[in-house]
Amino acid sequence: MEGELENLKRELEKARSQFYIFYELTQAMRTTLRLEEISYIILTGLTAHHGLGFNRAMLFLVDEKEKTINGLMGIGPMDSEEANRIWKAIEEQKMDLYALIKAYHKIKEAEEKPKFMEFVHSLKFPLSQEAGLIYETLYEVIPLHIDVTKEGGRKYSNDPLVKKLKLEEFVIAPLWSKDNPLGIIEVDNCITHKPITEEDIKILTMFVNQAAGAIENSKVFEDTLMKAHTDSLTGLWNYGYFQYRLDEELIKAKAQNYKISVMMLDIDDFKKFNDTFGHQEGDKVLRRIGEILKDNSRKIDIVARYGGEEFTLILPYTDKEEAKIIGERIRKAIEEAKIVNTNFTISIGISSFPQDTLQKDELIRKADLALYRAKREGKNKVLLA
């Protein structure tokens, strides 16, 4: 009788601890609406020792537009050596769940991201049966507990997801919201090989249901934010977002001691074209030039419509000479393109931080002055401040 009471007390204590963790994670998810931050909180909760304690956790989201299932984020080690290093650092720094969550801002701003996080982010599967298990799971009602080393799980040993992540025993859970599949969460104990229990799956299921609602709210928020910051004609960022991002990039550049260039560009003789052919044809030109700018800039560059026929680019980690090379590539691409049966040219002005100035407004002004000097000196050229 005494032994039964002890077992019952242990079970009650375990349940109390699990529900406390569940409550803490739910509260943490309410602190932000940003998808990356929400995702990090969810995956940290699944992997932290003070959370659900899995070795690794991954989040994949459906992209209906591209018809793909994409890796958004993964938390955990790539191998045993990295696991020991990470877990030792957590132990030495006595990092609890909230300390781990707060660490994301340092991770986000670091030039080199954790290997596993980058690896998961690089994964992409078709939104079709070709993707195998990851696609099948989207339409499941409850999480699937699979062990490919045992009978019943061996049929998945050649599955694309299993092979890429070298999975053995794992749980893969669908994320649903409003009768639509959002994505999947996958967890495993690839380092410790600790068996996954029914109790683990029960708590995971409760948490995944809560996480799905948080992710859905975050996606709605980010879609709204995206629309508010996007130029409706070209699909580029708008003037307000350009100003905001330039502030942010300059703060980071000052803290991390790197260079930034700003490029201002204007379509030559655009007013004459508009007056001759009308604004609808002019809009086609602006849209096409927006596409050329995106195609000829880098992933790290921020491309925006400044207003009218004027565009701007923020070029992080780029000095003036490097920015001029990018500017020449853009200028040439537009000059060679046939847009609405017409050849257009652009004039470009470039300024750089910290070489030209340390102030945002002065950086824009100097790029603008270089642009109008290019106009005065014959157009279709790139000039430096």
First to last CA, the chain: 86
The active-site residue out of 248, 309, 322, 362 is 309
Strand partners, 177: 180
241-250: long-range pairs with CB below 8 Å, 24+:
241/304, 242/302, 242/304, 242/306, 242/312, 242/314, 245/302, 245/314, 246/302, 246/314, 246/360, 246/363, 246/364, 247/360, 249/302, 249/314, 249/316, 250/353, 250/360, 250/363
> What length does the chain have?
385
Would you call 309 a catalytic residue per the annotation?
A: yes
The secondary structure of 236-268 as a DSSP string is SB-HHHHHHHHHHHHHHHHHHT--EEEEEEEET
Q: What is the number of alpha carbons within 13 Å of residue 230 lying toward its C-beta?
A: 13
State how far the Cα of 95 lies from the Cα of 221, in Å rounded to an integer. 30
Longest C-alpha distance within the chain, in Å?
96
**342: β partners:** 339
- Catalytic residue positions, numbered: 309
